[in-house]
A = this chain, B = another copy of it.
Amino acid sequence: MKIPAKTISRLSLYYRYLHFLSQQGTFSISSKSLASMVGLKADQVRKDLSYFGAFGKTGFGYNVLELKNALARILGLERGRRVAIVGMGNLGLALVGYKGFEVLGFKIGAVFDNSPNKIGKKYRGRLCYNVKEFSAIAAQEGIEMVILTVPAEVVHEVTGAIVAAGIKAILNFSPVHLSVPKSVHVTNVDLATELKSLSYFVFGQKTAARNA
């Protein structure tokens, strides 16, 4: 069966709320309550889960811990993945300190930059390596995923090195399209684009004059 990509990102969302609920000691939850927490309909939650199996008990709901563990398995989170951040500019720096990653099982295993000012310095306790050494350090540190926060000018070069090192997952914050082999998964997070879309919904004009 073909599973929609949107289903996957919703599963990630559910996982976060289940994590929270399990910390609260909540034992069970219905699709309806879970849905209202994340701002969706109960149908959607059940359909999403149904792609992967039947996790609930009829007339009862879901066991929070069981469902959380099932989602961890599905999402590949059973063991903490080691992540590198490449590019110690503003954004990279902020992400090194972002607690949301560690809580959910990701470990920042190494950070990289190309500037002599930054290489060798420590950021939140992590030594910054030369991006030229990426392949060696990534292997040594068991890096499996990369968060890419470098400026547009060096994206292609850096991406080449990351792909060559065998990394298959890149979360790309730089505002350019990455060309990578199909076997490498890229998710783009584009802050300026998000703002522009938002601008349309509030201020944009729904139609434009035909060109003269």
Specify which chain B residues have a CB less than 8 angstroms from the CB of A104 in the assembled complex: 192, 195-196
Contact A191 B98 (CB under 8 A): yes
* Complex: chain B residue closest to A170, CB-CB: B198
Specify which chain B residues have a CB less than 8 angstroms from the CB of A98 in the assembled complex: 90-91, 191
Q: Which candidate, A109-117, A132-140, A155-163, A199-207, is the interface stretch facing chain B?
A: A199-207
Specify which chain B residues have a CB less than 8 angstroms from the CB of A191 in the assembled complex: 95, 98, 100-101, 171, 189
Specify which chain B residues have a CB less than 8 angstroms from the CB of A175 in the assembled complex: 16, 100
Is A165 among interface residues, defined by CB-CB distance under 8 A?
no
Specify which chain B residues have a CB less than 8 angstroms from the CB of A200 in the assembled complex: 8, 11-12, 74-76
Q: Closest CB-CB distance, A51 to chain B, in whole Å? A: 8
Contact B197 A76 (CB under 8 A): no
In the complex, which residues 2-23 of chain A have their Cβ closer than 8 Å to any Cβ of chain B? 3, 5, 8-9, 11-13, 15-16
Q: Closest CB-CB distance, A73 to chain B, in whole Å? A: 6
Q: Closest CB-CB distance, A36 to chain B, in whole Å? A: 9
Chain A contact residues, CB within 8 Å of chain B: 3, 5, 8-9, 11-13, 15-16, 37-39, 52-55, 66, 70, 73-77, 81, 83, 90-91, 93-95, 97-98, 100-101, 103-104, 106, 144-145, 147, 168-171, 175, 177, 179, 185, 187, 189-211
Contacts A12-B192, A145-B198, A171-B194 supplied; 14 other A-B pairs, CB < 8 Å: A3-B206, A5-B197, A8-B197, A8-B201, A12-B194, A12-B197, A54-B211, A73-B205, A76-B200, A100-B175, A101-B191, A145-B195, A171-B195, A187-B198
